[in-house]
């Protein structure tokens, strides 16, 4: 496929509070064994894109450790490459650390890439999509830029803060806006764009000339009336992980095999870094129901409707319901958790009960002992 895949970083509208304090959003654990970035990278590589650039806004260590050379994602280092890029010069204020500024600081790597097209997408929109179909439609339409979107009837409660598109009957985008939850039905921009590399470079320069604070999507909003921007409706389920509550609720929905089946398909594998963990051990004292459990766990208590990362320990007498327990966490004896998110390496043993809600799950910080 003749396209450079660029994984963009998120702006301030996407913030997974707590989990995002210790790693960038793309490196946040999701569904036990994956990271959020695994899904867009798998879409790229399954679509035949083997030249990929990943842009990181801050705290790159976790992302670098997870991605490595790209070999886990079926990227052949002889004919392709995976680069992790970020602004190497300090920004005087966080507001200047936007995607356009980082693209321009790394423009040499974009210009030297041999592919004539660019596909730009963030990681916090999770979906399954063959980008070959998108590129073919973009070329046949003659559009300057093709923008991916999902038509939702849940805009009052989901996709809050995301961009919305006004699309006419010819699929042309006539306006950009924001989803404030005022209307039920909305066309939600997935902030994924297809264009020629020449167009991408030109738009980056126009954005920088317009304002040092402009993001790439800002210049698109400015130019949509004078340029030919077309919408591409993604009909498969789309998940937006732009807050802690959305992250929690999406994880709970994907416990259901029927819901997870649209994302985890045998013919469309989700690649991730693999670990040689032993199988999970479930003791005679344990009860496990409707949960997604990664390898290496030791379960002696009750786990009901949960997502467990690798090497989690649930001690005897513990009851964990509707919760997300990240890797290497320990839940002590006779502890009760309900609607909780426990970060990596945390231990919950002194507090006997923690209970949150769907909208406000309880978050236990990384390496905390409570």
330 with 239, same domain: the answer is no
With 70 as the cut, is the pLDDT of residue 76 above it? no
Q: What are the angstrom distances between the C-alpha of 174 and each of 155, 186, 224?
A: 20, 14, 6
For residue 177, what are the domain limits?
Answer: 3-260
Range 333-353 average pLDDT: 95
Range 277-296 average pLDDT: 94
77 with 217, same domain: the answer is yes
Q: Is residue 226 part of a domain?
A: yes
Lowest mean pLDDT among 45-54, 69-78, 124-133, 345-354: 69-78
CATH number at residue 94: 3.90.550.10
Q: Is 5 helix (H, G, I), strand (E, B) or coil?
A: strand
Q: How high does pLDDT run on average in the chain?
A: 94
The last residue of a domain, from among 260, 293, 324: 260
Q: Is residue 133 part of a domain?
A: yes
95 with 16, same domain: the answer is yes
pLDDT of residue 77: 65
The last residue of a domain, from among 195, 229, 260: 260
CA-closest candidate to residue 155, choices 187, 126, 184: 184
pLDDT of residue 164: 97
Task: Quickly list H helices, the chain.
Answer: 37-46, 61-67, 99-105, 107-111, 131-141, 197-210, 216-223, 244-253, 257-260
**How confident is the model over 219-254, as pLDDT tens digits?**
999 999 999 999 999 999 999 999 999 999 999 999
Q: Is residue 370 part of a domain?
A: no
CB neighbour class for 287 (10 Å; exposed up to 12, middle 13-18, buried from 19): exposed
Q: Is residue 130 part of a domain?
A: yes
Range 100-108 average pLDDT: 95
Scanning the structure block, which residue is given the tokens 């990384």? 366
228 with 314, same domain: the answer is no
Q: Is residue 207 part of a domain?
A: yes
Query: For 3, how many CA atoms within 13 A lie in the half-sphere containing its CB?
Result: 29
With 90 as the cut, is the pLDDT of residue 213 above it? yes
pLDDT of residue 79: 78
212 with 338, same domain: the answer is no
Terminal CA-to-CA distance of the chain, rounded, Å? 51
How many structural domains does the chain have?
Answer: 2
């Amino acid at each position: 496929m003749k396209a450079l895949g660029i994984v963009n970083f998120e702006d301030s509208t996407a913030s997974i509070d707590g989990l995002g304090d210790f790693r960038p959003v793309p490196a946040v654990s999701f569904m036990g064994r994956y990271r959020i970035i695994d899904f867009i990278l798998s879409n790229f590589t399954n679509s035949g894109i083997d030249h990929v650039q990943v842009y990181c806004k801050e705290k790159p260590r976790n992302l670098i450790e997870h991605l490595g050379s790209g070999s886990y994602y079926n990227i052949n280092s002889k004919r392709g490459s995976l680069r992790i890029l970020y602004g190497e010069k300090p920004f005087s204020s966080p507001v200047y650390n936007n995607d356009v500024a980082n693209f321009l600081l790394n423009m040499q790597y974009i210009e030297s890439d041999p592919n004539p097209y660019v596909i730009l997408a963030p990681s916090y929109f999770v979906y399954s999509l063959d980008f070959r179909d998108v590129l073919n439609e973009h070329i046949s339409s003659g559009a300057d830029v093709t923008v991916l979107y999902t038509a939702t009837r849940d805009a009052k409660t989901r996709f809050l803060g995301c961009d919305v598109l006004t699309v006419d009957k010819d699929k042309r985008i006539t306006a950009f806006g924001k989803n404030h939850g005022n209307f039920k039905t909305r066309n939600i921009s997935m902030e994924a764009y297809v264009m020629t590399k020449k167009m991408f470079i030109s738009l980056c320069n126009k954005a920088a000339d317009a304002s040092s604070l402009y993001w790439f999507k800002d210049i698109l909003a400015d130019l949509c009336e004078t340029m030919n921007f077309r919408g591409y409706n993604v009909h498969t389920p789309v998940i937006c992980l732009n807050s802690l509550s959305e992250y929690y609720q999406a994880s709970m929905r994907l416990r259901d095999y029927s819901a997870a089946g649209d994302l985890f398909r045998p013919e469309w594998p989700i690649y991730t870094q693999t670990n040689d963990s032993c199988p999970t051990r479930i003791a005679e004292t344990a009860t496990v129901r409707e949960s997604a459990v990664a390898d290496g766990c030791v379960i002696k208590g009750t786990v009901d409707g949960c997502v467990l990362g690798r090497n989690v320990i649930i001690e005897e007498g513990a009851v964990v319901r509707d919760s997300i327990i990240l890797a290497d966490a320990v839940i002590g004896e006779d502890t009760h958790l309900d609607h909780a998110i426990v970060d990596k390496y945390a231990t919950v043993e002194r507090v006997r009960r923690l209970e949150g809600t769907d909208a406000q799950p309880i978050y236990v910080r990384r390496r905390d002992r409570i």
